[in-house]
Chain A
Amino acid sequence: MNFRTYLKNHVVLLDGAMGTQIQKQGLPLGAIPESIQLLQPDRLIQIHKDYVASGSKVVSTNTFGASPYKLKNKQDVKETIEKAIACARETGAYVALDLGPTGQMMEPIGPLTFDEAYESYKTQVLCGLDADLVLIETMSDLNEVRAAVLAVKENSDLPVIVSMTFQEDGRTLTGVTAESYVLTMEGLGVDGLGVNCSLGPDALMPIVKEITDLASVPVIVQANAGLPEVINGETVFQVSPTLYSQYAKAFVDMGVRIIGGCCGTGPEHIKAICEVINESYQEFTLKEPTLKVCSQRKTVDFNDFVIIGERINPTGNKKLKASLRAGDLNACIKEGIIQGDHGIHVLDVNVGLPDIDELDVMIHLVDTLSHVVDVPLQIDSSKSKVLEAGLRRFPGIGIINSVNGKEKSMEKIFPIAKKYGAFVICLTMDEEGIPHTYEKRVEIAEKIISSAESYGISREKLIIDTLVLTVSAQQKEVMDTIKAIERIHELGLKTTLGISNVSYGMPNRKLLTRTFMTLARAAGLSSAIMDPLDEDLKNTILATDVLLNLDPQGERYIHFVTEQETQIEKTEVSLYDMVLKGFKDQVKAWTIEQLNHLEPLKLVDEFLIPTLDEIGLKFEQKILFLPQLIRAAETIGVAFDVIKSQLESDTVSNRGSIIMATVKGDVHDIGKNLVKILLENYGFNVIDLGKDVEPEKIVESAIKHHVKLVGLSALMTTTVVSMEETIQLLKEKDPSIQVFVGGAVLTESYSKKIKADYYCKDAKASVEVAKRIFDQK
């Protein structure tokens, strides 16, 4: 019987800890535990046999750390895994290929990319195809687990069971909640999921309960034998085999189907469990899966109205267009964070510009946004390759925007949605365009639904968009959109609309948009792709929900409705004081008023720059401190933003372009970011390449954008070497490029030694360098 069939009708008893058992065999201190299969395979076989003699039906291979990242060049991955499987095979039990974390932190917090993690797991899987199943365990990072699961599913037919490690607060070390974990793993189609390590069985109870309540696939638990306690400098575990088996029985009664032990458990624990659980053939009732959109920390269930933030979209947005073309993602990320602070439930991400590498930009944006914004992402593109690439990187259950009723579209999109468990926005149009009548649109919706179901995608995952037409051009048909929403809502399906399209070409667009929203919500609209910064529109939704009896006792309305923006009091405070004290709202109001009677450039040259210079001078004189200088720069940035939004050209007083990067090998970017904001608010255009940047990438960017000044940062003595390499390469390619350097370990003399043109002791010094280089011309 293969393992999948066995699992269907049995409670499965696994083995206990491997690490502690190997240590008992006298593994030298600091040695790789996976060396035992090469040096003393008999001992490893004995450990496995002891477990099987105690009742284990599955043994895990001794390959927890057998990844290219952990073995490095000390031991061959292939040999390590093949020998481990051979040892486990000696027992006659099912053999689980054991995969642990890579030991590297994933981007954007650490250096490991999703693709690198995937490749590492793929290497292991291809060496372990002889196993009966794969067990991915002790994981903390949701995307690392996803990479591992995809590596198994795309390179083998083996059943895959995952197990993450939770802390007392009910989250993993990287902040993943149990609910997001279950949703995401079931979305990828794993055969089992659960928890192991870190806590004793008692502390794991509430987390296991949450998981068994939610999961539709078999649940695995491998607890520690209590919390590790350090006694006389030795780590010991205190839960006895008998006590452990009582907990194991309780887990099985809660619905756990795969049970074993982690740190501190041994054959005696397994034997005790074997005596108290029923392993014989049983029929299990299968639970329906829970279907929700989620990020690592938040879920969205569409019970209440869902606001999908639309502002990351270069169409009609000059600032985003310009920054995307310059290869700078910061403006997009900032838009995401701002929308996150404005009450969105889902964030739409669209970077469709013809002259950029959309796929590359999408994956980098998804990597960062999924960490700095809490809500789930909606990947928005007309290219199916971009949709797939974005979903692949997103740690959670995302939404695809969009599929439509064209056969070609459905053939491309639905397999992707199925593979990643994604939700899908479905546009009610087909080969003949957008139908004029609502009946026809409902018909297309029904066609899309049945096609989705033929791919095994539940209709609960579909969000139907009945398409908004503009009232200025197609007034007669506006209500067809609403009627179609009504019908789809009656069918019990989720709906969405790009709500503001209705008012295109009309005066006071916002009024029309929010009135349309009232009609749509009354018809049953369940979500909208909209501007979350439009407070009136959000208030309209809250008000409508009270009137429609969708908000019991008006609780949400009372809690969230915002007052009309109060007029900011005119103050007699000088610009200098406003900027110094960080009064952003006042600076904004002041700038808007000044623009009524002053030319923008005059405002910049005669007010903003002199104010910054005055503050800069006080800093030089040590009257002001760096945090105050940074706050002033940020505050004056508000004035620059107002001016930029009112100008046709993207280059307001651009004093010159500068590339900034933290060099290869170094992940510290605080200092670099502070330099960047100062430079930007002194009117320089900064192209920020981020941290851990290859010398080649910096050179390539300098040549491509014709940049003559490059700023490099390094914080560690070990990474100053890459700084030197970068400078050398830059000077080779274009001797006219000037380089300034900064960072904790650098000194004036050291910077000379590595051939930098300028050493900057602090952020302000870099402004002086930039002025010297650009203002002389």
Chain B
Amino acid sequence: MEIWNWYKSMKDDVYRYLKMQPGVDEDIDKKIEILLTKTDPGRTTYKVFDLIQDPLGIKDFEPFESESLKPILKYADRIILFAATLGVEFDRKVKQLQYHNQLEMMLLDAVGSAKVEALVDEMCEKIKTTLGGYQTPRFSPGYGDFDLAFQEKLLRLIDGHKIGLTVTNSFLLSPSKSITGVIGFSLKPMDVKYNICDDCLRRTTCDKTICRRVK
């Protein structure tokens, strides 16, 4: 993706999270622009493992107990486990704003959500240049029936602590603007289309905000 498009799509995401459009409020537009350029770029890490199909799982590791993952990984022969985080400084900045500038806190929160997504997009592009091949859409613990508890195992498998990422006892990631997930990989093209909501097992009970990527 071209750098300009990448930036623009990140900015679109910010406004989407804020449920407003650019151009209605000059002050807010300007603040978002500044926050987007000022925020730290963040860190990512990933590892590639062999995937086996029946039962679906990482080779030499316990099988996944998830129906949602099956259609995604159906054609893949390897699996990329990844983690990304904007880091502790970001959380600290939000915490600081919480006490004296709620508007900026709210804007920064939205910027952070967009930025960490963009960070993963960028990582996927880089993986493409190093490994070649084809990738499935990425899928994170907590989507569909993919258990949040997998985050802990995932971080252990790829040494997530090296980018400063931890998981709490209730399986939340800390620092807060972080993403972990899996991507199917193959050297052959894979016919995987996943409409993140329509194909989700939870579509009837969810109000579409669990996966913040929903457009």
Which of B171, B174, B175 has most A Cβ within 10 Å?
Answer: B174
Bound Cα distance A718, B131 (Å):
36
Known contacts A110-B168, A173-B87, A745-B206; A29 and B60 CB within 8 A of each other: yes
Chain A residues near B70: list those with CB within 8 A. Answer: none
Q: Are B103 and A627 in contact (CB under 8 A)?
A: yes
Is A354 at the interface (CB under 8 A from chain B)? no
Chain A residues near B58: list those with CB within 8 A. Answer: 29
Known contacts A30-B157, A233-B78, A582-B27; A109 and B102 CB within 8 A of each other: no
| Chain B residue, CB-CB nearest to A336 | B99
For B, the interface residue count at a CB cutoff of 8 angstroms equals 61
Task: Mark the stretch among A81-89, A394-402, A513-521, A664-672 that contacts chain B.
Answer: A664-672
Interface SS of B by simple majority: mixed
Bound Cα distance A371, B100 (Å):
15
| Chain A residue, CB-CB nearest to B157 | A30
**Interchain CB contact (< 8 A) of B60 among A28, A232, A746, A750:** A28
Chain A residues near B100: list those with CB within 8 A. Answer: 334, 337-338
Q: Are B48 and A233 in contact (CB under 8 A)?
A: yes
Q: Are B88 and A174 in contact (CB under 8 A)?
A: yes
Q: Are A333 and B172 in contact (CB under 8 A)?
A: no
Which of B24, B96, B109, B175 has most A Cβ within 10 Å?
Answer: B96
Known contacts A625-B20, A627-B107; A333 and B49 CB within 8 A of each other: no
Q: Are B25 and A628 in contact (CB under 8 A)?
A: yes
Q: Are B164 and A174 in contact (CB under 8 A)?
A: yes
Is B176 at the interface (CB under 8 A from chain A)? yes
| Chain B residue, CB-CB nearest to A664 | B170
For A, the interface residue count at a CB cutoff of 8 angstroms equals 57
Q: Are B27 and A581 in contact (CB under 8 A)?
A: yes
- In whole Å, how far is B126's beta carbon from the nearest beta carbon of chain A? 10
Chain A residues near B188: list those with CB within 8 A. Answer: none
| Chain A residue, CB-CB nearest to B170 | A665
Name B19-59 residues within 8 Å CB distance of A. 19-20, 24-25, 27-28, 46-49, 58-59
Which of A173, A666, A744 has most B Cβ within 10 Å?
Answer: A173
Q: Spell out A's residues near B (CB within 8 Å).
A: 28-30, 101, 103-105, 108-111, 140, 173-175, 197-198, 230, 232-233, 235, 330, 333-334, 337-338, 368, 371-372, 581-582, 625-628, 630-631, 633-634, 665-670, 673-674, 677, 716-719, 744-747, 750
Q: Are A337 and B96 in contact (CB under 8 A)?
A: yes
**Interchain CB contact (< 8 A) of A667 among B48, B99, B131, B168:** B168
Chain B residues near A669: list those with CB within 8 A. Answer: 98
Chain B residues near A333: list those with CB within 8 A. Answer: 99
Q: Are A371 and B92 in contact (CB under 8 A)?
A: yes
Q: Are B47 and A233 in contact (CB under 8 A)?
A: yes
Q: Are B166 and A104 in contact (CB under 8 A)?
A: yes
Q: Are B103 and A631 in contact (CB under 8 A)?
A: yes
Q: Are A103 and B166 in contact (CB under 8 A)?
A: yes
Q: Are B176 and A108 in contact (CB under 8 A)?
A: no
Q: Are A198 and B162 in contact (CB under 8 A)?
A: yes
Q: Are B106 and A628 in contact (CB under 8 A)?
A: no
Chain A residues near B157: list those with CB within 8 A. Answer: 29-30
Q: Are A717 and B109 in contact (CB under 8 A)?
A: no
Q: Are A337 and B99 in contact (CB under 8 A)?
A: yes
Bound Cα distance A103, B206 (Å):
31
Q: Are A625 and B153 in contact (CB under 8 A)?
A: no
Q: Are B98 and A673 in contact (CB under 8 A)?
A: yes
30 residue pairs A–B, Cβ–Cβ below 8 Å: A29-B49, A30-B62, A104-B174, A109-B88, A109-B175, A173-B87, A174-B88, A175-B92, A197-B162, A235-B47, A330-B99, A334-B99, A334-B100, A625-B18, A625-B19, A626-B20, A627-B107, A630-B102, A630-B106, A634-B101, A666-B170, A667-B168, A670-B106, A673-B102, A673-B105, A674-B106, A677-B102, A717-B142, A744-B209, A745-B210
Chain B residues near A30: list those with CB within 8 A. Answer: 61-62, 153, 156-157
Bound Cα distance A761, B48 (Å):
41
Bound Cα distance A330, B96 (Å):
11
Is B91 at the interface (CB under 8 A from chain A)? yes
Is B130 at the interface (CB under 8 A from chain A)? yes
Chain B residues near A105: list those with CB within 8 A. Answer: 88, 166, 168, 174-175
Known contacts A582-B103, A627-B103; A175 and B207 CB within 8 A of each other: no
Q: Spell out B's residues near A (CB within 8 Å).
A: 18-20, 24-25, 27-28, 46-49, 58-62, 78, 80, 87-89, 91-92, 94-96, 98-103, 105-107, 109, 130-131, 142, 148, 153, 156-157, 161-164, 166, 168-172, 174-176, 205-207, 209-210
Q: Are B172 and A667 in contact (CB under 8 A)?
A: yes
Q: Are A230 and B46 in contact (CB under 8 A)?
A: yes
Which of A101, A372, A582, A665 has most B Cβ within 10 Å?
Answer: A372
- In whole Å, how far is B85's beta carbon from the nearest beta carbon of chain A? 9
- In whole Å, how far is B102's beta carbon from the nearest beta carbon of chain A? 5
Bound Cα distance A30, B166 (Å):
16
Chain A residues near B101: list those with CB within 8 A. Answer: 634
**Interchain CB contact (< 8 A) of B25 among A111, A197, A627, A674:** A627
Bound Cα distance A178, B37 (Å):
27
Chain B residues near A110: list those with CB within 8 A. Answer: 166, 168, 174
Bound Cα distance A760, B48 (Å):
43
Chain B residues near A197: list those with CB within 8 A. Answer: 162
Q: Are B102 and A668 in contact (CB under 8 A)?
A: no
Chain B residues near A718: list those with CB within 8 A. Answer: 148, 170-172
Chain B residues near A665: list those with CB within 8 A. Answer: 168-170, 172
- In whole Å, how far is A191's beta carbon from the nearest beta carbon of chain B? 26
**Interchain CB contact (< 8 A) of A111 among B46, B94, B169:** B169
Chain A residues near B98: list those with CB within 8 A. Answer: 669-670, 673
Q: Are A670 and B94 in contact (CB under 8 A)?
A: yes
Bound Cα distance A334, B60 (Å):
52
| Chain A residue, CB-CB nearest to B166 | A105
Bound Cα distance A717, B25 (Å):
34
Sorted nearest first, the 3 A-B pairs with minimum C-beta distance are: A233-B48, A173-B164, A625-B20
Known contacts A626-B19, A630-B106, A744-B209; A109 and B172 CB within 8 A of each other: no
- In whole Å, how far is A368's beta carbon from the nearest beta carbon of chain B? 8
Bound Cα distance A751, B163 (Å):
37
- In whole Å, how far is A264's beta carbon from the nearest beta carbon of chain B? 13
Bound Cα distance A669, B206 (Å):
21
- In whole Å, how far is B68's beta carbon from the nearest beta carbon of chain A? 14
Q: Are B99 and A372 in contact (CB under 8 A)?
A: yes
Bound Cα distance A108, B94 (Å):
12
14 more A-B residue pairs beyond the given contacts A628-B20, A667-B172, with a C-beta to C-beta distance below 8 A: A29-B61, A103-B161, A105-B174, A110-B168, A233-B49, A337-B96, A337-B100, A625-B24, A626-B20, A627-B103, A630-B106, A665-B168, A665-B170, A745-B209
Q: Are A634 and B164 in contact (CB under 8 A)?
A: no
Chain A residues near B130: list those with CB within 8 A. Answer: 230
Chain A residues near B103: list those with CB within 8 A. Answer: 582, 627, 630-631, 634
Q: Are A140 and B164 in contact (CB under 8 A)?
A: yes
- In whole Å, how far is B161's beta carbon from the nearest beta carbon of chain A? 6
